[in-house]
C-alpha cells in the first residue's frame, strides 16, 4: 500500500523508532529526525528517510508526529526559538504522542490553533512491545475532525483509539491510568510480601488473587514477585518492561495536574514517593514492579 501523504516524525527512541518504521511499512513517506545519530541510523536501516534537523524533516510534510521524553522537549520543539510552530503551514496536522503535562499539551494546541494547524495529543499505552508490534492504544485529546484525519495513521501504529475530549484530555486520561497502575502495583507487591512473611507460597497466593477481587494487570501479567510469572520482568531481575523512572515521571505529572486544580490524590502522591524512593535505592532503570523490594522491606531475593 502507498499513500501520497508525507509524515515528519520527530523523536525516534524506544517508542518513536518502531512507530516511525510501522508508518513507513504502511506506505507513508516518513522523514524522521532525532538528536541521537544512533536512533536515526536505526530507522534509516529500515527504510525511513533520515533528516538533518526537525525543520528539514517537516519540509513538504502534511503531518508531523512527535514522540519526545517530556513537556520541556515538546514545548521547545514547537514553541522554542525557531520552533516548528513558526514555520508549519496552515492545514498541517500535528500529532504529539509524548506523555506530557496536560497544561503543556493545551499550550502547544493553542499555538497550533492560532496558526491554523490542527493538533491532537495522543499519548500511548502498550510499551515498547506494543510500539514494535503496532498494537498501541492511543488516548486522544483534541477536535474530532483532527482525530478523524489522524485515524489511519494511528491505526498503522496501534490497535485501540480512545477520544477523551478536547486538547489535553488525552494526557489527563493517560495520567489517570498510570496513577492507578502505580498504586495497584505497589499495593499488590505489599500484599504478596505480607503473605510470604506469613509463610504463604507467592505463586499460590498470586493465582488466588488473579481470579479474586484484587485481580489486576499486576497479578495477571506483570506480577512483581520473582518466579510467579515466567515472562514478567520480576522473573528476569526486573530488566525491560516499563521503567521505574517513567512511572515516577507520570506520577509527578499526575501530582502536578492535581495541584493545578486543587484536586486531592492521596494515594497517587504516596505512590510518587514510593517510586522516588525506589529510584534512590538504585532501581530507577529497572521495571517499576521492582517497587515491591521497597514495600516488602528487604524484598524478595532475585
Ligand atoms: P526515549 O528516551 O527512548 O526516546 C526519546 C527520544 O527523543 C530520544 O531518542 C531523544 O534523542 C529524542 N529527542 C529528545 N529531544 C529531541 C529533539 N528536540 N529533537 C529530536 N529528538 C529529540 O523515550 P521513549 O521510551 O521512546 O518515550 C517517549 C515518550 O513516550 C515519553 O513521553 C514516555 O513517557 C512515553 N511512553 C513511553 C513508554 C515506554 O514503555 N517506553 C510507554 C508509554 C509512553
In sequence order, the 6+-apart residues with CB closer than 8 A to the CB of 191 are 209, 214
Residue 225 C-alpha to ligand 1 middle, in angstroms? 28
Q: 168 with 121: CB under 8 angstroms?
A: yes
Ligand 1, pocket-test mutation among 12, 14, 287, most atoms within 8 A of CB: 14
Tell me what pLDDT residue 299 has: 45
Q: Which residue has the higher pLDDT, 29 or 1?
A: 29
Task: Please report, for the chain, the start and end positions of each structural domain, with discontinuous segments joined by +.
Answer: 6-166, 172-295
Catalytic, out of 42, 107, 174, 249: 174
Q: Read off the pTM.
A: 0.94
Burial 154-164, CB ≥16 within 10 A → b, else e: bebbbeebebb
Predicted confidence (pLDDT) at residue 302 exceeds the cutoff of 70 = no
Residue nearest to atom 1 of ligand 1 (CA): 13
Please give all residues whose beta carbon lies within 6 A of any atom in ligand 1, as ranges.
Answer: 10-16, 33-36, 39, 54, 67-69, 73, 77, 98-99, 124, 127-128, 242, 246
For 247-297, the pLDDT digits (tens) are 999 999 999 999 999 999 999 999 999 999 999 999 999 999 999 999 775
Residue nearest to atom 13 of ligand 1 (CA): 11
Tell which CATH classification among 3.40.50.280, 1.10.1040.10, 2.40.10.10, 3.30.70.270 matches the domain 172-295.
1.10.1040.10
For 146-182, the pLDDT digits (tens) are 999 999 999 999 999 999 999 999 999 999 999 999 9
Tell me what pLDDT residue 75 has: 98
Tell me what pLDDT residue 3 has: 66
Predicted confidence (pLDDT) at residue 301 exceeds the cutoff of 70 = no
Q: Bridge-partner residues for 96, per DSSP?
A: 66, 121
d(C-alpha 64, C-alpha 103), whole Å: 20
C-alpha cell recorded at residue 194:
505480607
Please indicate whether residue 174 is annotated as part of the active site: yes
φ, ψ of residue 88 to 5 degrees: the values are -70, 130
Tell me what pLDDT residue 240 has: 86
C-alpha cell recorded at residue 242:
516499563
Residue nearest to atom 21 of ligand 1 (CA): 34
Question: Where does the pLDDT of residue 2 fall: very low under 50, low under 70, confident under 90, or very high at 90 and above?
Answer: low
Q: Among all chains, which residue has been given the C-alpha cell 522537549?
A: 73
C-beta contacts of 109-112 below 8 A and 24+ residues apart: 109/142, 109/167, 109/168, 110/167, 111/78, 111/79, 111/85, 112/78, 112/85, 112/88
Residue 69 C-alpha to ligand 1 middle, in angstroms? 4
Residue 294 C-alpha to ligand 1 middle, in angstroms? 27
- In CATH terms, the fold of domain 6-166 is Rossmann fold (3.40.50)
For 83-118, the pLDDT digits (tens) are 999 999 999 999 999 999 999 999 999 999 999 999
Amino acid at each position: 500500500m502507498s499513500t501520497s501523504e508525507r509524515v515528519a516524525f520527530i523523536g525516534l527512541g524506544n517508542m518513536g523508532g518502531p512507530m516511525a518504521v510501522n508508518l513507513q511499512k504502511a506506505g507513508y513517506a516518513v522523514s524522521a529526525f532525532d538528536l541521537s545519530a544512533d536512533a536515526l541510523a536505526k530507522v534509516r536501516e529500515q527504510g525511513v528517510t533520515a533528516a538533518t534537523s526537525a525543520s528539514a524533516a517537516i519540509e513538504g510534510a502534511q503531518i508531523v508526529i512527535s514522540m519526545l521524553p517530556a513537556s520541556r522537549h515538546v514545548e521547545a520543539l514547537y514553541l522554542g526559538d525557531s520552533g516548528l510552530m513558526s514555520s508549519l503551514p496552515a492545514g498541517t496536522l500535528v500529532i504529539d504522542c509524548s506523555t506530557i503535562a496536560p497544561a503543556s499539551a493545551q499550550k502547544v494546541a493553542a499555538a497550533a490553533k492560532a496558526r491554523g494547524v490542527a493538533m491532537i495529543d495522543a499519548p500511548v499505552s502498550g510499551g515498547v512491545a506494543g510500539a514494535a508490534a503496532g498494537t498501541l492504544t492511543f488516548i486522544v485529546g483534541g477536535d474530532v475532525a483532527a482525530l478523524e484525519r489522524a485515524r489511519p495513521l494511528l491505526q498503522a501504529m496501534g490497535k485501540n483509539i480512545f477520544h477523551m475530549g478536547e486538547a489535553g484530555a488525552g494526557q489527563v486520561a493517560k495520567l489517570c491510568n498510570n496513577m492507578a497502575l502505580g498504586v495497584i502495583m505497589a499495593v499488590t507487591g505489599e500484599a504478596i510480601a505480607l503473605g510470604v512473611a506469613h509463610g504463604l507460597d507467592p505463586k499460590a497466593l498470586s493465582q488466588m488473587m488473579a481470579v479474586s477481587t484484587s485481580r489486576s494487570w499486576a497479578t495477571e501479567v506483570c506480577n512483581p514477585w520473582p518466579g510467579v510469572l515466567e515472562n514478567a520482568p520480576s522473573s528476569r531481575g526486573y530488566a525491560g518492561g516499563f521503567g521505574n523512572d517513567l512511572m515516577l515521571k507520570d506520577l509527578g505529572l499526575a501530582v502536578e495536574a492535581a495541584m493545578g486544580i486543587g484536586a486531592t490524590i492521596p494515594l497517587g502522591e504516596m505512590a510518587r514517593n514510593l517510586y522516588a524512593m525506589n529510584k534512590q535505592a538504585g532501581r530507577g532503570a529497572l521495571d517499576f514492579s521492582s517497587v515491591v523490594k521497597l514495600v516488602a522491606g528487604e524484598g524478595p531475593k532475585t
